[in-house]
């Protein structure tokens, strides 16, 4: 059955706006990280190399971050964007853990906000992953 013909429970305005706000934080922070990498801000270059990654990877990582954000904010590709952002944030988590950076919970929290926000605003995802079984 085509998704356009499927009937979903409506999402309340409160749930929709909660989802938008939850989604905004990871998008804004990852987008900011992308922009400063693409601009090659000296402090970011220094912090990037401190993680043990070669400087030549700054532009590819910034581009990947930008792509994840773009895919996540487009409703038709939001789930793909969330999946890719999960991989990106997983890499950030392990990198910060590896170097002993105390900010390691931040990418985990951002990933939870990204998926939670998408769950709150996407009726198809709510059908796919229900919080409780229908009787």
Backbone angles phi, psi at 67, to 5 degrees: -60, -45
Q: Which residues contact 132 (CB under 8 A, 6 or more apart)?
A: none
- Confidence class of residue 134 from pLDDT cuts 50, 70 and 90? low
Per-residue pLDDT tens over the stretch 8-39: 778 889 989 999 999 999 999 999 999 999 99
Position 1 scores a pLDDT of 46
Position 10 scores a pLDDT of 81
Position 65 scores a pLDDT of 97
Per-residue pLDDT tens over the stretch 50-107: 999 999 999 999 999 999 999 999 999 999 999 999 999 999 999 999 999 999 999 9
Please give the angle made by the CA atoms of 83, 55 and 52, to the nearest 5 degrees.
75
Structure tokens at 124: 């198809």
- The structure's pTM equals 0.86
Position 6 scores a pLDDT of 63
Any idea which of 24-33, 44-53, 112-121 has the lowest mean pLDDT?
Answer: 44-53
């Amino acid at each position: 059955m085509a998704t356009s013909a499927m009937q979903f429970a409506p999402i309340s305005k409160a749930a929709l706006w909660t989802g938008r706000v939850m989604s905004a934080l990871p998008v804004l922070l990852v987008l900011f990280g992308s922009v400063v990498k693409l601009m090659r801000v000296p402090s970011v270059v220094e912090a990037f190399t401190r993680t043990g990654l070669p400087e030549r990877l700054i532009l590819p990582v910034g581009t990947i971050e930008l792509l994840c954000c773009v895919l996540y904010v487009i409703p038709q590709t939001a789930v793909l964007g969330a999946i890719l952002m999960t991989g990106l944030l997983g890499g950030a988590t392990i990198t910060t853990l590896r170097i002993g950076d105390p900010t390691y919970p931040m990418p985990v929290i951002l990933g939870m906000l990204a998926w939670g926000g998408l769950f709150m605003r996407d009726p198809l995802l709510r059908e796919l992953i229900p919080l409780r079984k229908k009787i």
